[in-house]
Amino acid sequence: MITVRVERPADLVAVREVNDRAFGRGVEGAVVDELRETCPTSLSLVAEEGGQIVGHALFSPIRIECNGSVVLEGMGLGPLAVAPERQRCGIGSMLVRAGLNTVRDRGCPFVLVIGHPAYYPKFGFTPASARGLVPQWEGIPDEAFMVLVLDERAMAGVPGVASYRSEFDPVSRRRLLRRLPRFSAARF
């Protein structure tokens, strides 16, 4: 049986390991570690099976800025990681749904993701460009930058640049651009 819960201090090593194994390098795990230290408003969820951490999802704050001013704050989803031997079993979906329910309950107006365009629409994500939203980094494919609007009133007429936390710079931009052309739903 798989349970999804909020990360605990005892999970830190296992969370790092799941991210490192899922992505095949330490970049995502390092971003998670840094955000854990610097951003208390992040939501870090784990999927546990038989006492083992088999998946992890992180939701961290994102700002939409227009003309140099913050227009609205929401959350970004990522990284989302599942242990390689447990991928394609629905664990990623369980983590995404639990996280979306939690941030919705907290009053979050939107969630952004940079990810596989065939995976995230099943949760309601649509291209962010249709709402006038663009990522802070150039070169992100339009179909990979998506938004899930949780509060239509708050998001009405809110275009702008989505700014991720500095922990994602500059390493994440390079990582995203390397990874995006070879999308693989196998991680979920």
> Domains plus CATH for the chain?
2-187 (3.40.630.30)
Could you tell me the two tokens for 148? Answer: 């899930």
- For the whole prediction, is pTM greater than 0.75? yes
- Tell me the pLDDT of the chain (188 aa) as tens digits: 999 999 999 999 999 999 999 998 888 888 999 999 999 999 999 999 999 999 999 999 999 998 878 789 999 999 999 999 999 899 999 999 999 999 999 999 999 999 999 999 999 999 999 999 999 988 899 999 999 999 999 999 889 999 999 888 755 555 555 554 444 443 44
Helix ranges (H only) for the chain are: 12-23, 27-38, 91-105, 152-155, 171-179
Scanning the structure block, which residue is given the tokens 């179909």?
Answer: 143
